[in-house]
Amino acid sequence: MISFPGTNCDLDTVSAIKELTSLDAEIVWHKDFKGKKYDAIIIPGGFSYGDWLRAGAIAARSKAMEEVVEEAINGKPVLGICNGFQILVESSLLPGVLLPNELGRFICRWTRVSIENPKGPWLKLANKKEKIDMPIAHAEGRFYIDSEKFKAISNSSPIIYYENGWNPNGSFYDIAGIGNEEGNVLGLMPHPERAYTEILSPRGFHGNGGLFFKSLEDSLKRGW
């Protein structure tokens, strides 16, 4: 798990993985990060470099991200959560861009998503259209992708959609998260590490965000 200046969800994400799985997980300062050392890479949420320029833009140009790009191209599992998703998009590992929220301000609330075209190590245990409840907390989460590109990938790449009426930020096509064609790289704006047990979830929501981490565990043990 890579930590940049301003990353603030790294501890939560390590805790989620350790509580839910038998996997080992550690936080690595970006300057010390060596991609080859790990079986999977997570870029957690936060405000890397204070979200200056655009969220994720500066971290995307770091040496650590050069390593991540190399590993991702070789098929290693890479997950970006919120600011991590912004960094993956800024690194061109995932298509599209993340624009400021339609409301023009930071939004923090629970939301509900469903999964299309589940594949790859992060979604191995997901059923088609599986619904997951997780909170979002961001200012720049409005996903944009042009219609041609969307058409080209919508039947083949994993896509996480906000359920009808749950789009908090004006994302195009209600997109909350997206994967590459192979599914080894996945990015999402909602926070699964804040929704991995029932006790973390408000009344009426399911704490089922652990699916991503349990899928990784299963995938690393048995393949995907």
The answer for residues whose C-beta is within 8 angstroms of residue 25's C-beta and 6 or more apart is: 1, 13, 14, 17, 18, 42
Query: Which of 119, 124, 138, 142 touches ligand GLN by CB under 6 A?
Result: 138
Query: Which of 20, 41, 69, 139 touches ligand GLN by CB under 6 A?
Result: 139
Question: Using CB atoms, what's the residue nearest to ligand GLN?
Answer: 45
CA separation for the pair 26, 105 (Å, rounded): 32
| Catalytic residue status for 66 | no
CA separation for the pair 176, 158 (Å, rounded): 11
Pick 41 or 125: Cβ nearer ligand GLN: 41
Element spanning 89, H or E: helix 83-90
Residues in the chain: 224
Query: Which of 10, 51, 67, 133 touches ligand GLN by CB under 6 A?
Result: 51
Selected catalytic residue, list 71, 140, 193, 217? 193
Q: How far is the CB of 171 from ligand GLN (least distance, A)?
A: 13
Q: Which of residues 80-99 bind ligand GLN (CB under 6 A)?
A: 82-83, 86
Query: Which of 13, 38, 45, 133 touches ligand GLN by CB under 6 A?
Result: 45
CA separation for the pair 8, 216 (Å, rounded): 22
Q: Is 97 helix (H, G, I), strand (E, B) or coil?
A: strand
Which residues of this chain interact with ligand GLN, rule CB under 6 A? 45-47, 51, 55, 82-83, 86, 106, 137-141
